[in-house]
Amino acid sequence: MKKNKILLTLIPVVAIVIIIESVIFLSRSTKKLGPQLLKVGSNIPVSLNWKADKEVVIGKSDEVILNMTTEKDVAIDAVDLYIKYDPTKVAINSVAFDNNFIKPSFNKINPEKGLVVINYLVSAPKGFELKTGMGIDLAKLKVNYQGVGEVSFEVGKGTLVVENGSAKVLPFNGSGLIVKVTSGQ
């Protein structure tokens, strides 16, 4: 009986302590996550860059690539990648990955939300070493343009690049891509 009373008292106390610690931890986090504008002289080690034709004809299948490069040697522990697009203007048929990088632990195309989600988790103890100037393709999107006008691709909120060892989220520079789709006439 005494053990039950102690447990009934102890469980809520532990729950309250965990909630308080979580609130304190989250309130201390002031680091901006996701793409950041690159400032001259800043120390942003990673860049996410798009490779694609800037102008295409409607109905044409094409490849849109999101490449990650670095300005200094870094060891990558994980990448959570969110790519936003307008599903009314473009269909993403499949996603291919760079053979020089690890296979993603999760990937999904969600045409209802216009979102591609790819998660990489490096299991090597030293992480994936990305050397200065080296680049890897995080995503090769096979796309089919469905409407005339401008189609945009963006690195979405929630995208993270995590450094090995420190488990710090690395700041990165990422801009969007706009592809002009014409009728071809």
* pLDDT, tens digit, 9 for 90 and up, residues 159-178: 999 988 888 888 888 889 99
- Report the chain's mean pLDDT, rounded to a whole number: 82
Q: The domain 46-182: what is its CATH number?
A: 2.60.40.680
By the 10 Å C-beta count (0-12 exposed, 13-18 middle, 19+ buried), 17 is classed as exposed
Please spell the DSSP secondary structure of 117-178, one letter per residue: EEEEE--STT-EEE-TT-EEEEEEEEEEE-SSEEEEEEEPTT-EEEETTT-PBPPEEE--EE
Residue for token pair 């990088």: 101
Convert the pLDDT of each residue in 13-46 to its tens digit: 666 766 666 656 555 544 444 444 434 444 678 8
**For the segment 58-94, what is each residue's pLDDT rounded down to a tens digit?**
888 899 999 999 888 889 999 999 999 999 999 999 9
Domain boundary assignment for the chain: 1-30, 46-182
| 29 phi, psi to nearest 5 deg | -75, 105
Q: In the structure, what pLDDT confidence band is assigned to residue 2 with cuts at 50, 70 and 90?
A: low
Tell me which H or E stretch contains 63.
strand 61-70
- Tokens 């990422």 identify what position? 174
Output the pLDDT for position 154: 94
